[in-house]
Chains A and B, each alone.
Chain A
Amino acid sequence: MLIQLEKIEKIYEIGTVKVPALRGVDLLLGKNEYVAIMGPSGSGKSTLMNILGCLDTPSGGTYTLNDINVSEMDDDQLAEIRNREIGFVFQTFNLLPRATALHNVELPLIYNGTSAVQRRKQALEALDQVGLADRVHHKPNELSGGQRQRVAIARALVNRPSILLADEPTGNLDSRTGDEIMEIIEDLHEQGHTIILVTHEEYIAEHSNRIIRLRDGLIERDEAVHK
């Protein structure tokens, strides 16, 4: 199994108040799956994605990624997992504003010590894959929303990660641009990538093979999509 979640809990503490965001999530996920996570606002989707992406650590339960127990790792090890195994696409793009598209995409390779020549080659390939070969020297404020999200996808891909996580990747885009992004994601799935996607839109979730519905920090339903 690629991903194995057992009784994952996440409790936020605000002062003395405890907010349970996840209340025991069990999940098995294989290679090259394409999963959509849905659920009402506040149901814990982003919290789950952050834990899957090793950005955040669960309050309880175990998370096994590629047969490695991630829940016991320290900060540096988690950083390396994020760098090697995970590609994260955010709703708000999260690009470095002063860096060019190329530099943004090269960034993960900088932190794993890839040489400059190799870095440039891989980054250009990734940008080409999302159809931005002609925008490599543009800065984020010189790009449209859709183009920014494509830079972010290229950055997520560039290190050839095991999973691609996308938290409402089309949330800040109009529907036509959103469709373009979904096409790219679908292509990536066809090329063998494993994809987990959070969305509020049924028609977007329908692109996936499996829909997991969360409610109040628990999996309410987990069903395959029939096309």
Chain B
Amino acid sequence: MRILIYMWEGVRIAFDALKAYKMRSILTTLGIIIGVTTVITIVALIQGLNQAFSREISAIGTDTLYIQKFPWIMNDNDWFKYRNRKNITLEESERVRQLSTLSLAVAPSIATRRTAKFQDKSVESVIIFGTNADYMITSNAVPEYGRFMSENDVHENRPVCVIGWEVAQKLFDQADPLGKRINIGGRKFRVIGVLEKKGSMFGFNQDIIGIIPIGAFQSAFGAQRRSVEVEVKIKSPELIEEAEYELTGIMRRIRKLTPEKENDFAINKQSMLLDTYNKLTSTLWAVAIGVGAISLLVGGIGIMNIMLVSVTERTHEIGIRMAIGARGRDILVQFLIEAVVLSLSGGLIGVLVGFLATWVVNLATEWVTVISPTNVLLSFGFAGAVGIFFGYYPARKAAALNPIEALRYE
């Protein structure tokens, strides 16, 4: 109870001082304002990036593995090493499909860009995938209407295609595309399905695509000499490590690799992208933490400085308070509160300016920003901690004053 009462007196004194020395207080807290603003803004940018990234990456499931010639993440130098690897073939993909026990679906795929035409309309640079019926599961390519390719379509290399939402829109407008023959890269394909609208991922528009049987792809576009990518959907995300192990074993067996030989293929997965992304953003984090820490340090020294001035200016007042019964620790608490009020005011202004800055970024750029309550509370907490830490020395100095000498001080 007693502590609450004189803490309240401390708050009252602090606000009196803030009111009496407005300009001085603002200048004093400048370091803290800059620190908090920086942290709020950069963290909002990072969290915005995170959100955008996780939305993009969600298209690559955590339960999907990709057997490919090249790993997704590599150094420039490694490229030459990987280039000499054997291509992954359709037959190998078929063997994997037969041998794997942990997979739900296995789809080989090759892709190319071709123009799609129907009557007088055309869409350029449509990404054409050659694949099998499992692709519907591995790539979550769900038809909005019509149907996906069947096993038979693929087996017999029928000239059928499933087209992306935007292709259908552009070629057929309001008309029904199902059953129509469209021209893809000079060959005719019958439309059997139209995919749901998916949006874009990493700048690639997932709605301007066409999917055809892989055999038809090879004979139409002569891609026998290209490596296929094998998409493997696992029964559940927890099995991903086991499945990776299993697939590695199967591939090595197919390719008859002796134990001393390295893998001559790559098994890619979402977490590889995540890891790389995290490495990238950690640089941003370092900047936020660095600038924030330095500004808070400078701000803290500013607060210590002004509190020392304040203690000197108010020596007589401290004497009066001590003469009527304030103990050293009462004075200590009073000055600590003043330092904290000062630093928290800086923190508050910093948060407001931070909000303003991120708002401007939002207006001026495409960059999405996210300000989370944790971010705000943490910045506030740091500002308060700086007040306590740097206010302690001046406060202790005040508390240690001798009452009679303080009273005599003019």
Interface residues of A (CB under 8 A from B): 50, 53, 55-56, 75-76, 79-80, 82-84, 88, 90, 94-96, 98, 107-108, 110-116, 155, 159
Contacts and interface: CB of A to CB of B under 8 A. Distances in A.
Contacts of A115: 1, 5
B327 A80 contact: yes
B203 interface: no
A61 B288 CA distance: 63
A112 B16 contact: no
A84 B323 CA distance: 11
A44 to B, nearest CB: 14
B330 interface: yes
18 contacts: A56-B404, A75-B327, A75-B328, A76-B328, A79-B330, A82-B324, A82-B325, A83-B325, A84-B325, A90-B407, A94-B319, A94-B407, A95-B320, A111-B326, A111-B330, A112-B2, A114-B5, A115-B5
A55 B402 CA distance: 9
Contacts of A110: 5-6, 9
Given A55-B404, A55-B407, A94-B320, A80 B325 contact: yes
Interface in B16-35: 16, 20
A98 to B, nearest CB: 6
A79 B326 contact: yes
Contacts of A55: 323, 403-404, 407
Nearest to B314: A96
Given A55-B404, A83-B325, A96-B320, 5 more contacts: A82-B323, A88-B324, A95-B320, A96-B317, A98-B16
A79 B5 contact: no
A79 B327 contact: yes
B322 interface: yes
Contact of A107 (B324, B327, B407): B324
Interface residues of B, number: 24
A108 B404 contact: no
Contacts of A114: 5
Contacts, number: 68
A90 B319 CA distance: 12
A114 B404 CA distance: 25
Interface in B88-137: none
Interface string B292-335: 00000000000000000000000011011111111111100000
B324 to A, nearest CB: 4
A113 B2 contact: yes
A112 B325 contact: yes
From A79, A80, A96, A159, residue with most partner B Cβ within 10 Å = A79
B328 A111 contact: no
A113 B3 CA distance: 7
Nearest to B406: A55
Nearest to A119: B5
B404 A155 contact: no
B404 A107 contact: no
Nearest to A97: B317
A159 B326 CA distance: 13
B153 to A, nearest CB: 84
B1 A111 contact: no
B324 A108 contact: yes
A50 B327 CA distance: 17
B327 A155 contact: no
A204 to B, nearest CB: 23
A88 B404 contact: no
Contact of B327 (A94, A111, A159): A111
Contacts of B9: 110
B374 to A, nearest CB: 36
